[in-house]
């Protein structure tokens, strides 16, 4: 399993980006150039524990921190009248900025994953054309070039009614093809086996049993997906 394509919109320092990833990818760059932003974006889509944080995102996760924008149309403050449009009691109506949207196309699915997700909007990916197809053998393409693929989308936004930030992950095609978007659950993410190890400042922190430490993450992953370790043992 791997991520072949990652699309990021309105997330932190990235207004819009489209990344095509090879089998092995190494991110190199100076500080504050977006390396961690890309990894955090992947974590929002595939990290089993990422959305357990409430709220899952905050104002700093939006591009330039803009989750609300004023419009050019004045709106009377409480008690104001249209005739007082030029008065100081008038304020601008606020509108919600575009949401954070992150789409990961997961390819080279294992048999276990294909069996689980086969009825949940599975698609097909051409490595040569770097594009998705709805059928396993599109006309004019070499079948050997086609691999199973699962597009997954995270959407994060500000809910003005609740005055809070919300975020959820969905099967991408369900956003347009289903009567109701279908959530890509934590259990589904655990089946994908994604593990994001954030930078740790000290070895003692990494080897402690504190929640979120390297050792804690490895032990939880072993409990969730023991077959990964059994395969190594063989």
Question: Which whole number is the average pLDDT over 164-184?
Answer: 94
pLDDT (tens digit per residue) in 125-151: 998 899 998 787 878 777 888 999 999
Q: What is the pLDDT of residue 204?
A: 55
37-41, 104-108, 190-194: least confidently modelled range: 190-194
Question: Which whole number is the average pLDDT over 63-76?
Answer: 70
Average pLDDT over the chain, rounded to whole? 81
Q: How confident is the model at residue 224 (pLDDT cuts 50, 70, 90)?
A: low
Domain architecture of the chain: domains with CATH: 2-67+97-188 (3.40.50), 197-234 (no CATH)
Quote the crossing angle between the two packed helices 214-224 and 226-233, to the nearest 10°.
90
52-56, 71-75, 143-147, 169-173: least confidently modelled range: 71-75
Share of residues in the chain with pLDDT > 70 (%): 74
Whole-prediction pTM: 0.77
Q: How confident is the model at residue 188 (pLDDT cuts 50, 70, 90)?
A: very high
**Residue 185: which residues within 8 A CB-CB, separation 6 or more?**
none
């Amino acid at each position: 399993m791997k991520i072949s394509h990652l699309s990021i919109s309105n997330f932190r320092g990235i207004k819009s980006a489209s990344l095509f990833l090879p089998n092995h990818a190494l991110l190199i760059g100076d500080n504050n150039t977006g390396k961690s932003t890309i990894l955090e974006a992947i974590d929002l889509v595939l990290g089993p524990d990422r959305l357990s944080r409430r709220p899952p995102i905050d104002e700093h996760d939006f591009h330039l921190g803009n989750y609300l924008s004023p419009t050019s149309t004045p709106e009377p403050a409480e008690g104001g009248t249209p005739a007082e449009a030029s008065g100081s009691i008038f304020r601008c109506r606020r509108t919600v900025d575009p949401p954070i949207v992150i789409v990961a196309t997961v390819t080279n699915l294992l048999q276990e994953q294909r069996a689980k997700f086969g009825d949940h909007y599975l698609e097909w990916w051409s490595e040569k054309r770097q594009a998705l197809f709805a059928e396993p053998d599109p006309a004019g393409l070499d079948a050997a070039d086609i691999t199973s693929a699962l597009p997954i989308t995270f959407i994060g936004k500000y809910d003005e009614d609740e005055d809070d930030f919300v975020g959820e992950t969905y099967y991408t095609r369900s956003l347009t093809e289903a009567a109701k978007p279908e959530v890509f659950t934590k259990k589904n993410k655990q089946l994908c086996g994604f593990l994001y190890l954030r930078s740790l400042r000290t070895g003692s922190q990494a080897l402690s049993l504190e929640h979120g430490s390297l050792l804690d993450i490895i032990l939880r992953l072993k409990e969730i997906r023991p077959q990964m370790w059994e395969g190594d043992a063989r």
